[in-house]
Every structure is written in structure tokens, then in C-alpha cells.
Structure 1
Amino acid sequence: MKGFQFVFPGRKGVYSDFIWNHQCFSGIDYVIKEGGELKGVFKIHNEYGEEWTDAVSHQLGNYDYLMGADIEYRNPYVVEEMKKWIKWYMDTTKVDGIRLDALKHISSDFLKEWIFYIKTELNPDCYILGEFWKDEAEKIEYFSDKMNDLISCFDAPLHYNFFTASKEGKDYNLSQILKGSFLEKKPVFSVSFVENHDTQQLQALESSVEDWFKPIAYTIILLSDEAYPCVFYPDLFGAEYIDVREDQEIHIIISKVEELPSLLEVRKRFAYGKQIDYFDHPNCVAFVRNGNEKHPGCIVIMSNSDEGFKEIELGKEHADSTYIDFLKNRHEEIHTDENGKAIFCVNPGSVSVWVKKYKP
């Protein structure tokens, strides 16, 4: 910062001739005074306001400031520069989707105007996903409504359901796993996930889902008809790293979820058509995807306790058929009767996806 301005002399105005001065920021996390550095969060008084904006989350009173130099989105020149920047970015990269971080700290008034500009002037089909991290679905729903459904939001409440279920084991009522989720409130605008970079060990929102439950959680978000899933890279490929807590180095290993590739294959080949739920037991639940003209459908059954089973009638069009567990957790074959009825099983604390066995 030179004379309260970011001038970027090396760029020589190639990308933009906009000058970022104190009118473009609402706060900063430190100031330099004679004799040394004074740490803290300081408001920057400018002609657009001397207080934090009100169009943010009211967590802890006001969540406008997060870190670094906080941008003043009440300044119309800043808004126009942000529009020019995103146009340059999208023209340069050719992206057709954007993920926005930390939306609790950004003016919803600005976001609505900026995203409307993207949708109307740049790409009406641009997919925009935001992280508005709340453990209460009603608060995410309020934000989504305020944004006029212009963006999708991560379903943090569903993640916390998975986290709690993995900790409580058989004491968790699996039939209520979707209760209180954003998926339950606004499925079209909900993005479901099991883990992310913030929830893994030693991170800011640490709430790691235990390994035994991850196949169940991924089954729910990948194979349900309304869920729009996001897969965490380390859960697919594994990860290993060293992190530090209280000056102590800790070796972290994130094991890959062995069933995940097969679940992705099931989503691609079988998880189509109307869904019929059998969420009628606290420890064993199931759902059926009926399939469509091109995809045969599947029967999904999960348990967070002992070995479980469900009697399911698929209809006479599936009479005298043979089913196998695509995940290979169960090795028997299941045969339907003349009405297409059979008892489908699952191992303790596990998941099975039963698909029709076709003769070669």
C-alpha cells in the first residue's frame, strides 16, 4: 500500500487501471504506527460508511470483517470493478461455474447484484455455488431466499448429521438422517457433502466423519434422487500430511473410502427414476430407485447397527429376478417371487446396493 493506495506499478495498467485506495476498503487487520506494529481490526472511515455493513451475517453481532483488507462493497466503483474483473476472468478461463467462499462475510446486496450481472450479461447457465456455513438449515434457507435463488449452497447441517451419526453409532436414529438438513428444505439449491477441507482433522471446523460411516453417508448423497453431491478428493484418493497443534507435529492420514468408486459407478449406471423410501427403522433404512427406460434402477439398504433386512416388493415386472450386491459386501444372490417381492439384506454397520443380475 503506497499512500493508502494499491498501485501495482509492475502491471502498468495492463489488466485494469483501477486504483484501490482507502475508499475501497471497510477494514484492515493491522495498522503501522510509529515505534512498531499495532495489531487488531480497524474500521476504515470512508464516504460510503463508518460502520460495518448490515447486509452480512449477524453472527457475533456483525460478520462483515474476516481477514486482510476488507473490501467496501458499498462503493459503486468497486462494484463496477468487480464486474469488469469477473468478465475478464470468465473470458480468460472459459469457466462455466464458480464457487464462492465465506459468504457470511460478504454483502448480500453486492452478491445479488454481481451474480445477477453474471447470469444476465456473461453466462445465464453459469453454475454458482456458495459456502454460507451455518449448522441451522433455516438460516441457509433465509440467505438463499434473500439471494432470490441465484446460487446453490453447501448443506453444512447434513454434514453435521453425518458427523453425529458416525459418533453415536447404533444410538443414532438413521431414519432421521435428513432431518434438519438444507436438502430437506430446498433440495434444488442444496449441495450435499460428507467432508471438506475445513472439517478434516486440525482444521477450522474440525468435525471429521468416522471412517465406518462414510460409505453410508456417500450412499445417501450419491444415490438419492434429490441430493446434488460433492465428493471430497481425499475420500476418493486418500491423503497424508503433517499439521501442527500447540507446537506439536501431528501425522494425519485420511484413508480413501473403498466403496466410493463403486458408488460412483452405481450413480452413473443405476441410480435413476422415482425413489421409494423405507426409512421405517432407527438402525436399518432403505430406498429403491425405480430406474427408467435406459437404466435398470437399484435397491439401496444401510445399517448403522446389526445385520439388517427389508422386505421390498418391486412389482410383477421384476418377478422371478435375481439380484446381486454391486458393492460386493454381500455375496449371496437374492431371488424375487412371482410378485417381484424379496428380502434384501445388509451387513452390520454397512451398505449394500442390490442390482439385477443379467444373464450373459
Structure 2
Amino acid sequence: MMNHTRSVNPVLFQAFEWHTPSTPPTPHEKFSDSSHWARIKRLLPGLAPLGITAIWLPPGCKANDPCGNGYDCYDLWDLGEFDQKWARSTKWGSREELDAIIQSAKELGIDCIWDAVLNHKTAGDATEVCWAVEVDPDNRCKDTCTPKQIESWLQYDFPGRDRAGMPYSTMKWRAEHFNGTDWDERSKKGAIYKIVDGPVSSNPLSRIAGKIKRDLLGKPGKDWADDVSNIHGNHDYLLFCNIYHKNPEVRQDLLKWGQWMVKDVGVKGFRLDAVQHFSYNFSREWVQHVQRSGPVFIVGEVWTHLTWRILEWLDKVGPTASAYDAPLLCNFSRIGEDVRNGSPNADLRTILRDCLVTVRPDQAVTVVTNHDTQIGQTSFTPMYTPLKPLWYAFILLRKDGYPCVFWGDLYGTQGPHAEPPSCIKGEKKLIPELLRARQLFAHGPQTDYIDDAACIGWTRNDPEKGCAVVLSIAPEDETSTKKMKIGTSGEMWMDLLGDREVCIDNNGEAEFPVSGRQVAVFVKKQELSPLEFDLNCGI
């Protein structure tokens, strides 16, 4: 895997949640104190000392409407710079505010990772007539009608950018640039429509001759991408106007955009949205293209509990890309729900079962929650809140994986299912404490003690910057201990998150205690300055 950051123990911070509020500049302004871009800029100086080395920014391209989060992408080349779709700025802020974030982050040694939506577009500027077939939603390889003409919003003229002379890219998108859509304006019907080549003639023999000619030229008729996930028969189509990556104009425009984002805008990496829904071969081509100019971090979103499906994408794209370890997150959820429900199946020994970080430790981005798994979202995954500190300790203090901290766990979430910040223990804010522990003490070879259903531990054995970590899912009124070898006889070790101390015995071992449903992080006894982190600073 490529070096995605300069830090020994890097940390990625997801700098948004699904319901993050933002009041961007008005069309006649370039800055607003209430935009999310402005908020992030205020927070950066407080995040850097915690060891945050990169921030994952939301997809700040022009969306379907001014409140769109960006996954409803309209124009990749408009980062809040052109007056189109009823606003100049995006929901997140203006291009000028984005530039200010990237510059401030650079000065603080923090990389900006951009959320790139390369699978689809939405909110075309005009309709266009094309040929299409409806497909079975449960089997997209199965046509449910003969080819027919539909009228869909497939014409993208980008009038705001057009008035400015079409800077950055002159491409205007038409029906030939898509292979799927979800709406027929003529019939006012929503469905999954696969856009196909129109018949060359009403004569059946002529149509057959046309197909033979296309095949001989190596130009088969338009279809779904054949190198995608096989869920629903073929998972190329996700939503909106599905981009046809075999089209040469499409390929060149998307490749050029990626290079522009790195060289001109200044991002240091990309989170690729929904990569199981577009050509794996194009993903490889795109990744190789943007990495030609230097180290560019790439993480693909293949959201599944099946590690082999993630490996399919990684093996195709190559070793310079990463993927989220969704199976590990699912294990956190499974164990947490067993604890919540009092199930005897709760077993910490299964925490690494079938995980990406186990088989590809250098390509796994480890997460506890994100904007898609938070409550109310499409991939909602229940996460028992009292155990979140255990899971954050697991991703932050072990040697494998690239951990990602979620905005909602540090600052809380908004919306209909709003939640306060998680991982609070009395006066201690545990995520900042664990981040500091990762910086200072998560060093050296690792020894695992994953040998008990209710209590596990591990050590990091650097002589000066090591730690001993213990996790327990036992009842809250129970104290468990884990005998682990670390340190030197006679040394006193203290729990960073509590007030317990232990003494290393003559064998270089100690019984490290932890209360039920808690985590303890022991380090060599020393004076540490109080950690000051204001959850409301800059919000």
C-alpha cells in the first residue's frame, strides 16, 4: 500500500455526518461564518494536536439543489463557484471557503481527502429522447419489455459554467454518456431503464446485420458494465442517471477531473463512492491516472459484510488502493447487539472474524460508524453506544488498519435521530484520550490476548512508547483482569482512562484490570498534562 500520510500512526477524520447543518454564502457572497467549510476551518487547529492527519471532506460538488449533500451530484467541476441549480455555493460552502480549508490544512500537516461521486449524475437541464428497456429490479440482466423510446433528463449543459465560458471542462453530457436512468418523462413513470442503442432499421434482417457489424468492429451494443458486483444480476445501476464509463468522452473527462482536483484544487486523496456500482477496470485506470503525479490516497466504498466482495475490487484496482473494513464494523455491531440483548453468544474472540484488516491490513480503513450507518440511513447498522469506546480503542491502538473517526462520535449528530457525542466517561472525552494514546503509546510489536469471550487484550511492546489495552463486555458491576507480559519488573503502570495502577512482576507480567463494558489503556506511569479538547469549539 502507498504511504498515505507522513505520520507513523495516521488517523482519518470524517468531517461530516448526514444531517450536518450548513448555511453557505448567498449567491452574491463568497464567505459565511455559518457554512460547514467555515466550521471545519475553525476546527482544524484543534484537530491537529490530537493526531488527526487527514480529513475526509463531503462531496462538495454542485448538487441537485442547494441543500443536497453532494451524493446527488450535478456538476463535478463546480465546487461552489458558479451560479447554477439555484445557488453559487454548494450546501457545504463556496469554492473560496474550500480553498481556505485546504490551505489551512496544508499548513497544519493535514491532508484533505475528497468524496468523489463518479457513478452517476442527476438533475439534467433538459430532456432527451433515447432508446431504453425496462429491467427487473431484482435481476437487472432481465429485460421486462422490448426497446422503446423514452424521454429522460439526460441533457447537462451547465448553464452557470457556460456563462463563464465553460472553464475547466467543455464537455456537455448527453444520452450517449449514460447507460441507465430512473424516469421517463413521457409516461411519467419511474423504473430502472437501461439505455440501449436504437434500432438501425425496422427491418429485422437489417438489425441483425447491424449487430454483426458492431461485433466485428469490437463495438457491442450499449449495456451495463460487465465488471461490477453481481448483486441483482448486475449492480452497475444504483440511482439517477448512470454514467457509461465505456464512452471515450466520459473517460477522458473523469480522468481529467481527478487530475485537476489533485494538481489545481489541492486534495491529497479520494474516497470513491459506490465503487461496486461502476466498472472495476475504470476504477483501476482512474486510480493509476491520479497517482501518476505523486502519492494520492484512495479508499473505495464497497459496503458489504462479505470480505471476498471487497477483495474483488481491491484485486482489480491494485495495491495502491484501500477499502473500508465494513465486515469489522458489522462484527462490532453483532457483538454489541448480543450484549444489549443479553445473548450468551456475545464473544469478543470473534471480533476479527472474516475481516478485511485480517487479510489485507495495509489496505483496510477501519471504522466504527459513518454517515451511511448512522440511524435512519440506508445502511443503518446498530451500534451499542456504551461499547463504542471499546471499538475505538480497537481501531486506534492496534498496529493494523488505517482508523477513521466519525464526526458524529466526536461532535454528535443532528436530524430526526440526533445523538450527543459518544464515548464520554464522567469528565473524560474518551476519543480525544484514545487519539492521544495512539500518538504517544501505540508503538512497537503487538501481542494479542484474544482468548476469552468477555475480556480480551493486547500489548504494544515499544520500551518507552508501549501500552497494554484491555476490553471487557462483562456486566458493568464486574471487574475482569487480563494477564499480559510487558514492561520491566517493578515498573508501575497506570490506566489513562481511569485511576487504576498495576505493578509489573518479576516475570515481566501483570494482571491488568478493567471494569465491565469498559476499556482500560495502561502505560508506564508518568506525568501527562491534562488533555484539553472543547467539543463546542468552532461549532
TM-score (normalised: structure 2): 0.61
State the partner residue of 1:131.
301
Report 1:77-116 matches (<5 A).
Answer: 77-116=249-288
Residues 291, 21 of structure 1: alpha-carbon distance in 2 compared, 3 angstrom cutoff: same
State the partner residue of 1:42.
193
State the Cα distance separating 1:322 from its structure 2 match: 0.6
Residues 2, 281 of structure 1: alpha-carbon distance in 2 compared, 3 angstrom cutoff: closer
Matched, 1:301 2:470: yes
State the partner residue of 1:172.
346
Matched, 1:59 2:225: no
Matched, 1:16 2:169: yes
| Whole-angstrom distance in 2 between the partners of 1:13 and 1:191 | 37
Residues 45, 348 of structure 1: alpha-carbon distance in 2 compared, 3 angstrom cutoff: same
| Whole-angstrom distance in 2 between the partners of 1:253 and 1:235 | 9
State the Cα distance separating 1:165 from its structure 2 match: 0.6
State the partner residue of 1:231.
405
Report 1:1-360 matches (<5 A).
Answer: 1-2=125-126, 4=128, 5-10=155-160, 11=162, 12-33=165-186, 37-46=188-197, 49-120=221-292, 122-123=293-294, 125-169=295-339, 171-242=345-416, 251-258=417-424, 259-291=430-462, 295-305=464-474, 306-314=478-486, 318-328=488-498, 331-358=499-526
Partner amino acid, structure 1, of 2:286:
W
Kept after mapping to 2: 8 A contact 1:141/1:185: no
State the Cα distance separating 1:278 from its structure 2 match: 0.8
Cα RMSD over matched residues?
1.8
> What SS does the aligned partner of 1:180 have?
coil
> What SS does the aligned partner of 1:253 have?
coil
Q: CA offsets, 1:205-241, max 9 Å, x none? A: 1112111110111111000111210001111122232
| Whole-angstrom distance in 1 between the partners of 2:360 and 2:179 | 33
State the Cα distance separating 1:90 from its structure 2 match: 2.1
Partner amino acid, structure 2, of 1:73:
H
| Whole-angstrom distance in 2 between the partners of 1:333 and 1:150 | 43
Kept after mapping to 2: 8 A contact 1:158/1:182: yes
Q: CA offsets, 1:124-174, max 9 Å, x none? A: x10011101111112111221121223100011000000011011263110
| Whole-angstrom distance in 1 between the partners of 2:415 and 2:171 | 41
State the Cα distance separating 1:61 from its structure 2 match: 0.9
Structure number with the bigger relative contact order (C-alpha 8 A, sep ≥ 6) is 2
State the Cα distance separating 1:176 from its structure 2 match: 1.8
| Whole-angstrom distance in 1 between the partners of 2:497 and 2:305 | 32
> What SS does the aligned partner of 1:344 have?
strand
State the Cα distance separating 1:43 from its structure 2 match: 1.5
Kept after mapping to 1: 8 A contact 2:412/2:418: no
Partner amino acid, structure 2, of 1:163:
S
Tell me the number of residue pairs that the alignment of Structure 1 and Structure 2 aligns.
342
State the partner residue of 2:79.
none
Instruction: In structure 2, list runs of 5 or more residues that go unmatched.
Output: 1-124, 129-154, 198-218, 425-429, 529-539
State the Cα distance separating 1:309 from its structure 2 match: 0.6
Partner amino acid, structure 1, of 2:435:
L
State the Cα distance separating 1:2 from its structure 2 match: 4.1
Q: CA offsets, 1:301-336, max 9 Å, x none? A: 111114211222325xx11111110011xx232112
Partner amino acid, structure 2, of 1:327:
L
| Whole-angstrom distance in 2 between the partners of 1:350 and 1:264 | 17
Q: CA offsets, 1:100-141, max 9 Å, x none? A: 111111111111111111112x33x10011101111112111
Kept after mapping to 2: 8 A contact 1:23/1:48: no
> What SS does the aligned partner of 2:281 have?
helix
Kept after mapping to 2: 8 A contact 1:28/1:44: yes
Moved more, 5-14 or 268-277: 5-14
| Whole-angstrom distance in 2 between the partners of 1:213 and 1:279 | 17
| Whole-angstrom distance in 1 between the partners of 2:235 and 2:193 | 14
Moved more, 223-232 or 7-16: 7-16
| Whole-angstrom distance in 1 between the partners of 2:465 and 2:170 | 58
